[in-house]
Amino acid sequence: MVESAPSAARSTPIPSPTEVRMSAAPADDSKSDVITVRSPRDGSVLAEVAKTPVSEVAALADRAREAQSEWAALPVAERVQRMKNIRNRWADRGLELAQLLMKEGGKSEAEALTSEVLPSLNLFDYWCKAAPGFLAREKVALDPLNFPKKKGFVDYEPLGLIALVTPWNYPSSIPLRALVPALLAGNAVLWKPSEFAPLTGKMVHEIFAPDLPAGLVALVQGDAAQGEAVIDARIDGVSFTGSAATGRSIAKRTAERLIPVSLELGGKNAAIVLDDADLDRASAGVVWGALANGGQNCAAVSRVYVVKGAAAEFEKRVRARLAQVKSGPDAGEFFDVPPLISARQLDRVAAQVDEAKGAGVEALAPGGKQGDAGNWYAPAAFKQPGDALSIVREETFGPAFTVTTVDDEAEAVRRANEGEYGLSASVWTRDLQRGERVAKRLDVGTVTVNNTSFTPVITNAPWSGRRSSGHGTTNSHRALFEMVKPRFILLDWNKGSEFWWFPHDESLVTLARGLLRFLTAGFSNKLAGLPAALKLLPARIKAISRPVV
């Protein structure tokens, strides 16, 4: 059990969020009550993690609700200070976290530090500085003529208990995008990390726990059964990052209860290389954007559309850069492309690559499994694949991409907008104004000009999708406002009746008609008609001022 600072909410004991057995012995994968954690690098067993019994999830949710009342009662400044403590603990354990991401996720140390540990410090800093302003009482400006002797304001209250279901590809940084703003807003969180990253989930929970009421962040370990139990618990909102299929299932499960849902789903992201692009930068950016984290990134470049004037030279540079990429079990400590998270994910990528090869598509890089142990897969890239193949239509989530020559900018935009996903895209050009014009024609949530695949780490910029890429937002104030309930309060010190109150008689109709003529007239006619409109008021005032008794 994670020890926490004393608080009233800790009087109810709670079970340890995760029981972990570390063992080098062969695992029994038939066990239904544990998660067997295997190294993506060599397939060895790292640990067995006890699954949270499905029967206990509802109780964890109830305890989180109890803790939430205490947490929400704290001043925002106090919640911020505790989050700063958590941030400092994150920094202190940063190298330890990176080592765990390397073991459990197969990442290189460079990838673990630059994509998860370091950007997350910026995330903590942003929210600790910005959240108090976003959560402060907001004054609503009221027109004194239409609404005399009145003032209004909005207070923001926490939703309550937010269900958080997160993936394995960035298992520490993605959860923070919801955990940190949700907690600062005063919520509790029922969190199920991926079954492929339970050890990372446990460490993140340990980093948060000492400064929170016990049970406020309830950790649920397991697979689909536990995920369903989390969604079916007595929750007030959902933040989910994962596949479109699971996102649709969650949307259906929550629709009947009218529970708000934020869905950050998949992508099939296009890069458009225009004929005036800096091809050195474009080729470097595309290869990195496609292969970073082994392509296991919803923002990864999957499809490249190159205007024909630049195609031959771009392909030449891509081939050269692919030849320099380091991957596989013999690549040493400083590899570029990590192994895939699981044998199942490797099989999925291999199926798309093998289909392209079977169709006779020319390969810029052939791909293929590397080594006997682990889930290493060499980068694959294909030229002119057409539109029928799964590697073009479906999310790959692996180190594979396609390069297609198009006639012009218009065709590139059209092809980029095809398909069911609408998460992100990139445009490569020396003309930034042209790049911006193209960006505005792309039906996606994020467009980068002369860069790619990194903006989710910009905490004050929204990250959202369209169509099968989901809806809702992570990052920026827009994400926070999905985790609170606004309450508008109006104060009125007017002592008389409002002109629209009863009785609904001739005086009201006459006044309303006069106001309609006045409001729809031109400026000069307004001035001329103002005296006539004002003459209608006394009759209405008399009508609403008659004593009742």
* Residues with a known catalytic role: 264, 298
Strand bridging mode 446-449 / 424-428 = parallel
- What six digits make up the tokens of 32? 């239904």
Cα(311)–Cα(279) distance, integer angstroms: 10
Task: Tally Cβ neighbours within 10 Å of residue 145.
Answer: 6
Beta bridge partners of 191: 164, 219
Q: Tokens 């695949």 map to which residue?
A: 453
Q: Tokens 């700063």 map to which residue?
A: 84
Cα(237)–Cα(101) distance, integer angstroms: 28
Residue 203: exposure state from Cβ atoms within 10 A (0-12, 13-18, ≥19): buried
Concatenate the DSSP letters of all residues of 123-192 into one string: HHHHHHHHHHHHHS-EEE---TTTSTTEEEEEEEEE-SEEEEE--SSSTTHHHHHHHHHHHHTT-EEEEE
- Ramachandran region, residue 167 (left: φ > 0; alpha: ψ -120 to 50; beta: rest): beta
What contacts 67, CB < 8 A, 6 or more positions away? 9, 188, 212, 213, 214, 215, 216
- What six digits make up the tokens of 222? 């397991």
Q: For residue 71, which amino acid is it?
A: W
Is the peptide bond prior to 503 cis by the omega test (within 30 degrees of 0)? Answer: yes
Q: Tokens 């991401």 map to which residue?
A: 101
Cα(252)–Cα(258) distance, integer angstroms: 10
Map residue 479 onto helix, strand or coil: helix
Q: For residue 144, which amino acid is it?
A: P
Cα(360)–Cα(473) distance, integer angstroms: 40
Element (H, E) at 87: helix 76-92
Taking the CA atoms of the chain, what radius of gyration do you get in angstroms? 28
